[in-house]
Amino acid sequence: MNRRKFIQSTTLAAAAAGTSRLWAQAAGSGDRERQDIYRHVDSHQDDHLSKLRQYLRQPSISSTGEGITECADMVRRFMVDLKFTEVELVQTPGHPVVWGHYDAGARKTLVVYGMYDVVPIFRPELWEVPPFEARIVDKPGLGKALVARGTGNTKVPFRALLNAMESILSVRGELPINVMCVVEGEEELASRNIGVAVEKHRDKLKTGDACLDPKYLQNEQGLIELTLGAKGNTYLHLECSNERRGIGPSGGSSSRFSALFGNPAWRLVEALSTMVDNDGLNIKIEGYMDMHRLLPEDLELIDAMLERYDPSVLLSDAKASNFLPGLSKRDILIRYMLTPSFNISGIRGGFVDEDGRATRLPGKAFVKIDCRTVPELDHRQIVPLVRAHLDKHGFQDIGIRVFGSYPYFKTSYRNPQVQTLIQTYRNYGHEPLLFPLRASSGPYGYHFTDPPLSLPFLYGGLGHAGHFHAPNEYVIIEGEGNLASLPEVEKFYVDLIYDFAAGPERPGKS
């Protein structure tokens, strides 16, 4: 009986309880090595969990720099302990990138992307446990969870992958594949310097067959939400000031002068109203939507999701009660994953204190806008199009600052490396939901998918995590129902490594 047939003959509960172990028992002596690795994973769970908690207890807040140097060195030591051939802290204008190369002389090479930085602790009073203590708590209906900043995003998945590699090395003596790790400390700052490390090791990275970003991809119902890419993002700051206009007091003054000078806040609102209508859903900037394409393959994946995916889970995620009226399930998915945006993230000018009263004429007003980009909307064209639109409509005095810009990236589900990943999930009794794009953005992926590397990019992993960037971020380590526990997470990575090793090489790699 082959592995897939065996899995298909088990119940879903049995699959969730450790299908790789069950398969090993059914396969008898056919793969003693893999069985030994599974046993090593099971017998070393205390040590593996300790390594997860060690990593989580090290703060690494990229926006403030707290703990960044220590955390980068910790990741470096992880790779040294695994006997990587090369380990280096690549210095950049910002935080260092940890580079590691394990050369097994194997046929296949897996590039692993990782991030060791986290966001700051917002609203610490809302945390049920201290955010860097990595305590285990009960999550009713889900299981036992490890709660800490950086659990799901993404310290635990990365360290779980290293735990799986450690078990393979302990049993086998070497990995069946070559591994290259690029682990940055600025993902939360739009990955502004990862390109330094990618360029430095470009020639080696070009020999890769795929890039893996380890993730916990099970939702609360246990379904695998496998995304094939991510939207791009361009973050703008538009400002109208009396100084730029050459009219009115540059520092602001009493509103009794507004009839003499006009108001930069109203002028900014007037400019914004020419760019969109329908609550910002219809983008009217000339040329902006002309680049957008709904690709047949992406629509094919949307249609395949309709029977299995309930978009109402997005309401729970957004803490909302209703979508826009009149949207079908298909409309919701297309808008969520495949539609560009021109979103006001924040707007400010003059007196904005919620309490008190002041009658002010602002000296300036500004708005922050994020533009999510999708196929085939070129992020490099957004600022020129916005500038041309403002100039055409008589708003030459409104200035533009760019805080960051990067493109979308995606890999076809037909890619052989993606198919290998999908088959590994099927061997565990899971049929993944294939999302054409993440609705959120990934500032790092294009470094690997675009030339000169041109690598397929894979998100991969079992397990459930939640509350990213929010209080009480968590990963499940002892899952209930169909949610994987830590041993199954690590065994999945063991199987993925072996399945990847046996799969086809990337055509045309260097």
Note whether 109 and 207 are within 8 A (CB).
Answer: yes
Q: What is the pTM of this model?
A: 0.90
Question: Where in 429-490 does DSSP place strands (E)?
Answer: 433-435, 438-441, 457-460, 465-466, 474-479
The reported pLDDT for the residue numbered 353 is 82
Q: Which amino acid, residue 74? A: M
Does residue 422 surpass a pLDDT of 80?
yes
Does residue 10 surpass a pLDDT of 70?
no
The alpha carbon torsion through 348, 350, 355, 358 (nearest 10 deg) reads -160
Give the whole-angstrom CA distance, residue 507 versus residue 499.
18
Kindly indicate the confidence band of residue 316, based on its pLDDT and cuts at 50, 70 and 90.
confident
Note whether 372 and 233 are within 8 A (CB).
Answer: yes
Bridge partner list, 229: 410
Per the model's pLDDT, the better-predicted residue between 2 and 126 turns out to be 126
DSSP 253-300: EEGGGHHHH--HHHHHHHHHHTTEETTTTEE-STTTGGG----HHHHH
- Best CA proximity match to 114, nearest among 45, 64, 165, 171: 165
| 3-228+411-502: CATH, from 3.40.50.11260, 3.40.630.10, 1.10.1060.10, 3.30.720.210 | 3.40.630.10
Q: Which amino acid, residue 150? A: G
Question: What's the rounded mean pLDDT across residues 266-294?
Answer: 95
Residues of the chain with CATH 3.30.70.360: 231-292+339-406
Position of tokens 């000296």? 363
Does residue 12 surpass a pLDDT of 80?
no
Tens-digit pLDDT profile for residues 97-154: 999 999 999 999 999 999 999 999 989 999 999 999 999 999 999 999 999 999 999 9
Note whether 436 and 301 are within 8 A (CB).
Answer: yes
Question: What's the rounded mean pLDDT across residues 356-372?
Answer: 93
Tens-digit pLDDT profile for residues 154-171: 999 999 999 999 999 999
Question: What's the rounded mean pLDDT across residues 413-426?
Answer: 97
The reported pLDDT for the residue numbered 354 is 78
Range 231-292+339-406 has CATH code 3.30.70.360: yes
DSSP 1-60: --HHHHHHHS-HHHHHTTHHHHHHHHHGGGGHHHHHHHHHHHHTHHHHHHHHHHHHTS--
Does residue 30 surpass a pLDDT of 80?
no
Does residue 28 surpass a pLDDT of 60?
no
Note whether 372 and 340 are within 8 A (CB).
Answer: yes
Residues of the chain with CATH 3.40.630.10: 3-228+411-502
Give the whole-angstrom CA distance, residue 265 versus residue 257.
14
Counting residues of the chain whose pLDDT is more than 90, the rounded percentage is 88
Question: What's the rounded mean pLDDT across residues 81-89?
Answer: 98
The reported pLDDT for the residue numbered 357 is 85
Give the whole-angstrom CA distance, residue 472 versus residue 485.
19
